[in-house]
Amino acid sequence: MRKTGGAFALILLAVVCVASWGEELPLPPAAETVPVARPAAPSPSRALPIAPFWRAETEFQAGRTDEALSHFLDLAYNYPDDERKGFVWMRVGEMLLAKGEIEPALSAADKAILLSRARFLALSAMDLKFRVYQRMQWKSEARQVAAYLLDQQYIHADPPKLLAVMARADLERGRVGQAMGLFRRAAETARTPEETARIRAERDALIAGLTDMAALREAAEGEEEAGVKAHLFLTMGKLASRKGFTGMAAFALEKAAGAGGTGSQEAAEQLFRLEKIIASRPKIVGLVPLSGKLADIGFAVLSGAEIALQQSRQKGTDPLLPVLRWMDTGGQPDRARKEFLGAASDRSVIGFLGPLTGEEGRSVGVAFGPKSPPVLYLGQKGIQEKPFLYGFGLSPTTEARAVLAYLQRSGQSNLLLLYPDNGYGKGFAEAVAAAAQESGIRVGKTVSYPPEAKDFTEVIRKAVGQTAFAREAKTKEKGKGMKLRQEAILIADRWDRVFLLASQLRYYNVYVPLAGFSGWNDEELIRKAGDAVAGAVFSVDYADAIPGTQGEKFRTEYREALRSAPSRFEAMGYDGAMLLAEAYDLNAGKEGRSAGEASREQIPRLKTFRGVTGAFQFGPSGEMRRKVFLLRVELGNFVPVPEL
């Protein structure tokens, strides 16, 4: 080992001497250097002397650390900076690190990087800094340096070690999928079978300790190696089972059992025991995409539903309370209809939470019959209405009715509608037109614009009229509002375009009240648009700003279980599962009725169900009306509009 260290030192000294006594080396390409400014080499007459330099290095190679450190510090502080000072500070840093003086070692490493002009010396100093960061347990910083050393192909880099460090840092930050890829690369670059086995054992131990179910699912879905995929799903299934999320546990264990690898047998055994429990219980079927591009939304919906059923079990005494059965539609209408028909024939099914998309909803609607269990369709697109096939998602029509009703109560009955020329905007434009016809409100003017627009000058010119716009452009008297025939402006777009449009309306002195829809619901709108959206009102299905103990409890328990804040999708799943759980009739089985038939009778008796996404009113013939929350921008915050 000492011979190896001596050889490495001779290489370093050779590099240093060439850099110091010969002509100044040209700078390497920017991509191959540490991105810091370095001073030019001093003149040979003021260069660091070679004799003390060699004496210090001899002491270091002989293992006399104290003497070597004293000599190197003397060189570092008493001679001018030149190329060899980078090597000097690197030696100082190595010895300070060995003595456990971490912060001084980090400072020395920084100086070594600053003063080293040769690429090899600079990378050697970066390697020292990496080791210091490891001792300091600064995992994020160590990861950055490790990635740099690998990218620069540092000759003394240990790829398996660096990749494993990067993987641990990613795991700590919740990037499970990225960490699995790094562990795989580390195992592939290992030099011996023993090192490969050690890396894989560390990876497996870290997987077993993960507690973020959403991150586990995401990583497992993208994992290439069958054994690792099975282990990730198995860990997720065990964790979900411990938390009482029966449906999630069964879903994950089934995935693990089907993946193959070492964990699949254990997963199959646990799934068998869990299925025996589920078979005897009434069921709510989650009929959503759990694979494909909409999988994240499907997972969010059913995660919220698991929280609802957990709360029901906590306050109930019935040991046969409903459980959730996760079914994957893959976002495919035919598959959704097939899964629906299969589950609807099960007499223990209370109802369906889903489908999610309009295409799935229409497909299921065709198969929905007069004795089918209730279905809570979660999409926004319109589908054929049938009794007990409820449009549970917040549709543009429902939003438009709520916003226009508010504007009408406020005395604003002549509106200007601005919307993007895409599916989203056209859907809301049609909904506004229909709601206006129902309520008697007049939409005096509509102006569409390209979805990617950033400059809305021409849009505003069309909206206010050429004459008014030209007159305003000439006078430009600040604070004097432009006169319009319309009493309010509806903007049917998402927040990232709303703030641009609202700001430019204010720039052109258009001080007309603004209103919009759920796409506005983002705190960034207030931060970026500021006073331009003050007083604006918009519809929303779910927001933290909506007060109530139910919402607070939902958010608290979701964060504790899933380690993230819930969105509107989790809230929608929560309300749907809570409604169907309340519709469950314990006596249905005793009376010979199916659970679905009993819930069709029970839901109308609820009359009103108030959830975290709004209030739902049920009629005796399987119809439903919904009250939508409205938010107003006041003093830089979203505040609820009082309900009538």
Q: Is the pLDDT of residue 216 over 80?
A: yes
User: What band does 471 get if pLDDT is binned at 50, 70 and 90?
Assistant: confident
Task: Supply the pLDDT for residue 475.
Answer: 61
Task: Supply the pLDDT for residue 24.
Answer: 40
- Give percent of the chain with pLDDT exceeding 70: 89
Amino acid (1-letter code) at residue 264: S
User: CA-CA distance, 32 to 35, in Å (whole number)?
Assistant: 9
Q: Is the pLDDT of residue 396 over 70?
A: yes
User: What band does 50 get if pLDDT is binned at 50, 70 and 90?
Assistant: confident
Tokens representing 624? 């439903």
Task: Supply the pLDDT for residue 141.
Answer: 96
Higher-confidence position of 553 and 35: 553
Task: Supply the pLDDT for residue 591.
Answer: 63
The pTM of this model reads 0.83
User: CA-CA distance, 543 to 539, in Å (whole number)?
Assistant: 10
Q: Which domains does the chain have, with CATH numbers?
A: 2-157 (1.25.40.10), 226-391 (3.40.50.2300), 396-540 (3.40.50.2300)
Helix (H) or strand (E) holding 610: strand 608-611
Roughly how many angstroms between the first and final C-alpha of the chain, as a whole number?
82
Alpha helices in 26-82 (DSSP H): 50-61, 65-78
Dihedral pair phi/psi, residue 200, rounded to 5°: -70, -35
Name which of 52-56, 240-244, 363-367, 499-503 the model is least confident about: 52-56
User: CA-CA distance, 376 to 356, in Å (whole number)?
Assistant: 9
User: What band does 15 get if pLDDT is binned at 50, 70 and 90?
Assistant: very low
Q: Is the pLDDT of residue 267 over 90?
A: yes
In angstroms, the Cα distances linking 402 to 347, 438, 515, 540 are: 38, 12, 11, 10
What lies within 8 Å, CB to CB, of 621 at 6+ separation is: 387, 604
Sign of CA dihedral 362, 366, 370, 373: negative
Average pLDDT rounded to a whole number, residues 203-219: 95
Q: Collapse the DSSP code of 105 into the 3-class scheme (helix H, G, I; strand E, B; otherwise coil) and give the result.
A: helix
Task: Supply the pLDDT for residue 474.
Answer: 62
Task: Supply the pLDDT for residue 473.
Answer: 62
Average pLDDT rounded to a whole number, residues 241-250: 95
| β-strands 323-328, 283-288 pairing | parallel
In angstroms, the Cα distances linking 351 to 93, 389, 571, 595, 600 are: 67, 10, 18, 8, 9
Ordered DSSP codes for 538-569: EEES--TTS--HHHHHHHHHHHHHHSS---HH
User: CA-CA distance, 237 to 298, in Å (whole number)?
Assistant: 17
Task: Supply the pLDDT for residue 593.
Answer: 84
Tokens representing 420? 């993007």
Q: Is the pLDDT of residue 18 over 80?
A: no
Q: Collapse the DSSP code of 126 into the 3-class scheme (helix H, G, I; strand E, B; otherwise coil) and give the result.
A: helix
pLDDT, averaged across the chain: 89
Q: Is the pLDDT of residue 101 over 50?
A: yes
Task: Supply the pLDDT for residue 2.
Answer: 43
Q: Is the pLDDT of residue 16 over 60?
A: no
Q: Is the pLDDT of residue 19 over 50?
A: no
Q: What is the pLDDT of residues 163-193, one digit of tens each?
A: 999 999 999 999 999 999 999 999 999 999 9
Q: What is the pLDDT of residues 439-461, one digit of tens each?
A: 999 999 999 999 999 999 999 99
CA-CA-CA-CA dihedral for 538, 543, 547, 550, to nearest 10 = 140
Task: Supply the pLDDT for residue 588.
Answer: 56
Q: Is the pLDDT of residue 37 over 70?
A: no
User: CA-CA distance, 359 to 336, in Å (whole number)?
Assistant: 9
Q: Is the pLDDT of residue 41 over 50?
A: no
Average pLDDT rounded to a whole number, residues 353-365: 96
User: CA-CA distance, 241 to 561, in Å (whole number)?
Assistant: 12
User: CA-CA distance, 469 to 473, in Å (whole number)?
Assistant: 6
User: CA-CA distance, 285 to 329, in Å (whole number)?
Assistant: 12
Helix (H) or strand (E) holding 52: helix 50-61
User: What band does 465 get if pLDDT is binned at 50, 70 and 90?
Assistant: confident
For residue 88, give the nearest of 129, 56, 41, 126 by alpha carbon.
56
User: CA-CA distance, 131 to 142, in Å (whole number)?
Assistant: 8
Q: What is the pLDDT of residues 285-319, one digit of tens each?
A: 999 999 999 999 999 999 999 999 999 888 765 66
Higher-confidence position of 494 and 478: 494
For residue 542, give the nearest of 438, 416, 628, 450 by alpha carbon.
628
Average pLDDT rounded to a whole number, residues 418-427: 96
